Amino acid sequence: MPRYEIKKWLSPLWRGNEMFYESLSFVGEEGRAPLLCPPAGPIKAWTFGLDLALREGRDFRVEGDAVVRLKGSKAPFWDPEELYPAEPGPHGIVMDLTGTGLDLPGTRYVRVAEGTAYTERQICVRYRHAGSPLPLPPDKSARFPALFRRLKEKRPFTLLFYGDSITVGCNSSGTVYGNFSRPYADSWPVMIKKYFDALGQPLTYVNNAVGGWTSAQGLEAFEERVLNFSPDLLILGFGTNDADLPLSEFKARVREMALRAHEKTGCEVVLVSAWRINPRSSWVLNQHKFRLPLLELEAELPFAAVADVTVMHEAMLERKRFVDACANGINHPNDFVARLYAQVVLRTLFGDRFDFGLEKLPF
C-alpha cells in the first residue's frame, strides 16, 4: 500500500503532470466528485488513509473530469441528510445548497465535527494529467536576504509559526487533531520544517499557534509567545477567527506584530492568507478579504511577504468542492490543502528553487 512521503506531498500542485493523492468526497451512494485536473489515463484510488485500494469498474467509474461512486462500492460516502442536517446542532451554521443538485427541503445546516469525521468519508486518487489549472504563486525570495545568507553559511536560526488552529496544524492526519490516523501526514508547518531539514539547515522549530485565537489575542500574547523566542523567520497565520473584524483593524494588528518582531530581532516575516472557509456557510464574513490588507502590508514592509493561500484555494474551488478537502466541515483543511499551505509558503520563500529543486533534496 502507498504511504505518506513528504517528497510527494511537496510536489507542487501547479507543476508537472502527475497528481498524488488528491482527496475526494462522495455525497450520496452514487455521488459524483470533480477532479482538480482533467485526467489523462487511468485513475488509481484508495480510501483516505491509503490503506484500502479501490477498483475502477467495481468501486468507481470515471466520467470526464469526475469520479462517480458505484452502488455497492467499498468507497465511503456521505448521506446528504447526515452531511447537511435539518437540525442546527451546537454550531447552527446554515448552508446554502443552491445549485449543488441536492434536493433537500427546508433550511439546512453543516455538520461540524473534528478528528477523522470527515476524512474517513474521503478517498484519495492518483492520476496523470495534461496540466494543472492552478496559478503559479509569485516568487518573493528577494524579500528574504537574511534567510539566504543563513542558508548559504549554514548558520542556525529559529523558525517560528504563530497563528490560529490552522497554523497549529488542525486536522492533519499525523497529528493529535487528526487522531494520529493514516496516512500520518505532517502538519503544514512541520512539512516546511522538514524542507529546511532536507537542506541540511540547522534550526530551532517553534510552533506557538493557538486554536481559536483571533489577531487580538495573538497581539496580546506576542511578547510571551513570539518575542521571547527571538525568531529569525516568523510565519504569521491569523484571520480565520477574526470573522467580521474591519479590514483596517486586522491590518493594524498584523502590522504591529510584524514590526515588533522585526525591530527586536531583525527577523523576516511571511504573512499567510487563509484558505476559504466553507464558502456556502453562514460563517463566511471577512475572512477571505483579509488577504487584501496583508498585500498592503507587503507593499509597506520590505522585510515581509504574503504567501497567498487564499487566491490559490479560490482557484482550486473553481474545480473542486469544499467538502472534498475539508477536515471538519467548516474551517480545518485536510492533508490535501495542508500540502497547498506548505507549498505556497515554500514557493514564496524559494521561488523556482522550490519548484525544480525537489529531486536534489535528501528526503
- State residue 175's pLDDT score: 98
pLDDT higher than threshold 90 for residue 358: no
- The pTM for the full model equals 0.97
Cell of 112: 461540524
- State residue 355's pLDDT score: 80
Please compute the mean of the pLDDT values over residues 330-335 and round it to a whole number.
98
pLDDT grade, residue 357 (50/70/90)?
low
Task: Tell me the DSSP string of 231-290.
Answer: -SEEEEE--TTTTT--HHHHHHHHHHHHHHHHHHH--EEEEEEPPPP-TTBTT-SSGGGG
Q: What torsion do the CA atoms of 341, 158, 252, 249 make, to the nearest 10 degrees?
A: 50
pLDDT higher than threshold 80 for residue 327: yes
In the chain, the percentage of residues whose pLDDT exceeds 90 is 95
**Cβ neighbours for 8, distance < 8 A, ≥ 6 positions apart:** 20, 21
Q: How many CB atoms lie within 10 A of CB 30?
A: 14
3-state secondary structure of 173: coil
Q: Are 332 and 168 in contact (CB under 8 A)?
A: no
CA distance 240 to 163: 9
pLDDT digits (tens, 9 = 90+) for 94-119: 999 999 999 999 999 999 999 999 99
Please compute the mean of the pLDDT values over residues 86-101 and round it to a whole number.
95
191: left (phi over 0), alpha (psi -120 to 50) or beta: alpha
CA distance 140 to 115: 35
Cα Rg, the chain, nearest whole Å: 20
Q: Are 340 and 38 in contact (CB under 8 A)?
A: no
98 phi/psi in degrees, rounded to 5: -60, 130
pLDDT digits (tens, 9 = 90+) for 119-137: 999 999 999 999 999 999 9
Q: How many CB atoms lie within 10 A of CB 151?
A: 16
pLDDT digits (tens, 9 = 90+) for 207-264: 999 999 999 999 999 999 999 999 999 999 999 999 999 999 999 999 999 999 999 9
Per-residue DSSP letter, 351: T
Please compute the mean of the pLDDT values over residues 339-355 and round it to a whole number.
95
pLDDT grade, residue 181 (50/70/90)?
very high
pLDDT higher than threshold 80 for residue 80: yes
**Top-level class of domain 141-354:** alpha beta
Establish how many alpha carbons lie within 13 A of residue 300's alpha carbon, considering only the half-sphere containing its beta carbon: 14
For all residues of the chain together, what is the average pLDDT? 96
CA 354 from centre of chain: 18
pLDDT grade, residue 168 (50/70/90)?
very high
Cell of 81: 441528510
Please compute the mean of the pLDDT values over residues 317-345 and round it to a whole number.
98
Please compute the mean of the pLDDT values over residues 63-72 and round it to a whole number.
97
Task: Tell me the DSSP string of 176-208.
Answer: GGGTT-TT-PPPHHHHHHHHHHHTT--EEEEE-
**Domain residue spans of the chain:** 6-129, 141-354
